[in-house]
Chain A
């Protein structure tokens, strides 16, 4: 095989691998969520299917596949079908702009190195942000088209929440972009290579601790996770926006949620935790293992928060978003800009 063909095949394999990992991330996260929840509540969690219950996600999916697809009589036929598709498509598409590994020749297989990641876009930060903000339409449309009051309330909450948290989220991103001087996630990661004083990694986490906290909080709100899971608050709204859904259409919503979590964590790793940079493994060309480890830690924190922090009240969420989080992120932006000017970074 000549180099051009080989390169093409390698690119295809990278894309396929990313897709495969994302699908599996959602299955693994379902299991991890239930196992960690069980651990925190001093019980075993799922234990029946497979050894220690590790095949539980497979059983869940098979069960959902064979369920009957129901649609309420007065639901809007087109939008009801379209909503889960929008959710899951946006979730997958957003990850396309996220790089997850350094350039590599695969141990000398290729002449010129390829970049690990689906697409290398020079405005990657904006692409991820734009596509994830499209995902909210899936939830809102699901809520509206079901023609049920619980679903509608869930959808309404979701759109209000999205508007309130996107601002703080984008402003936190802007601070990192100013530091790195680039909108490309790959360049942001490369700007974090190396160490301060020989042992502290040059991660933006240490320059932007406030920005990181704002990013994580806004990320939890954007993915509708507890303590901000108002669109599907069980005690108030039955199941929220997806009350009327069943079978595969229902399964697509949690899948989109878990993939969105993965994307959020991956972007946080690229922006604040130095991406694939880390000791030892990087030297052997296995930097992406560091990336996986860091994403895994953030995902664990996501689940940890969900099972330890109780849900806010809806008006508290809006108050917190507009009166605390957004001003804090603007202040962070101004301080960062002043520091960059002063120290001439």
Chain B
């Protein structure tokens, strides 16, 4: 019973906070709401008996990445988006961009619905392989990450390295050239 109440509490906070993130004019509020949403997600992970994933969610997303976001927003010092200029001249306001965005959103909804319909109940399979806590423990996550999925793991780190090199290149470019 309390599990169900907690689930709806976390799920409700996650959904409402995420919806409010896009509804904010002030980027600072958006960031705070996104952190709340990440926190609620981490609560859901704990309910799924995956404490490691829950803590990684808080440390990596709510902790490190959002501090970076905050840092950037504070450096740009843009408490309010300039609405008038945004409406007039911003390239994101062109009709083509809007249509493309709507198309992507539609695709995402179709995908989500499809996934929900296709999803099978995996609890029986998990039960056959032992208890959930053992499967989601740090030890087994680490083992799978560095054996079965080592290629994906290494590929991701190369991807991040590429992004970093790109950022340095853009930042180091001299204004004259």
Q: Which of A128-136, A302-310, A320-328 contacts B (4 or more CB under 8 A)?
A: A128-136
**B71 — nearest CB in chain A belongs to which residue?**
A159
| CA A170 to CA B29, docked complex, whole Å | 29
Given A76-B28, A159-B74, answer yes or no on A140-B67 (Cβ-Cβ < 8 Å): yes
Residue of A nearest to B65 (CB): A163
A152-190, CB under 8 A of B: which get 1 and which 0? Answer: 100110011011001000100000000000010000000
Q: For the side of the interface on B, what is the size category?
A: 20 to 34
Contact with A along B140-163 (1 / 0, CB 8 A): 000000000000000000000000
Q: Are A160 and B28 in contact (CB under 8 A)?
A: no
B-contacting residues, A102-128, CB 8 Å: 121-123, 126-127
CA distance A336 to B56 in the complex (A): 23
Contact A133 B63 (CB under 8 A): yes
Are A144 and B35 in contact (CB-based, < 8 A)? Answer: no
A82 to B67, CA, bound (A): 17
* Cβ B138 vs Cβ A183 within 8 A: yes
A163 adjacent to B64 (CB under 8 Å):
yes
Any B CB within 8 A of the CB of A137:
yes
> Is A239 interfacial (CB-CB < 8 Å)?
no
Mark each residue of chain B from 61 to 76: 1 if its CB lies under 8 Å from any CB of chain A, else 0.
0111001101100110
With a cutoff of 8 Å between Cβ atoms, the chain B residues found around residue A131 in the complex are 58
- B62 near A134: Cβ-Cβ < 8 Å: yes
0 or 1 for each of B43-85: is its CB under 8 Å from A? (1 = yes):
0000000011001101100111001101100110001000000
Contact B55 A127 (CB under 8 A): yes
Closest to B138 in A: A183
**Number of residues on chain A facing chain B (CB within 8 A):** 31
A204, B29: Cα distance in complex, Å: 43
Contact B58 A134 (CB under 8 A): yes
Q: Which of B28, B59, B64, B71 contacts A79 (CB 8 A)?
A: B28
Q: Which of A78, A123, A160, A162 contacts B55 (CB 8 A)?
A: A123
- What 4 A-B pairs come out closest when comparing CB atoms? A133-B63, A126-B55, A130-B58, A123-B51
14 sampled A-B residue pairs with Cβ under 8 A? A76-B28, A123-B52, A126-B52, A126-B59, A130-B62, A133-B59, A137-B32, A137-B67, A137-B70, A140-B67, A144-B28, A162-B67, A170-B59, A183-B138
Known: A129-B59, A133-B63, A144-B28. 16 other contacts (CB 8 A): A76-B28, A79-B28, A121-B51, A123-B51, A123-B138, A126-B59, A130-B58, A130-B59, A133-B59, A133-B67, A137-B32, A141-B28, A156-B71, A159-B70, A159-B74, A170-B59
B interface residues, Cβ below 8 angstroms from A: 28-29, 32, 35, 51-52, 55-56, 58-59, 62-64, 67-68, 70-71, 74-75, 79, 138
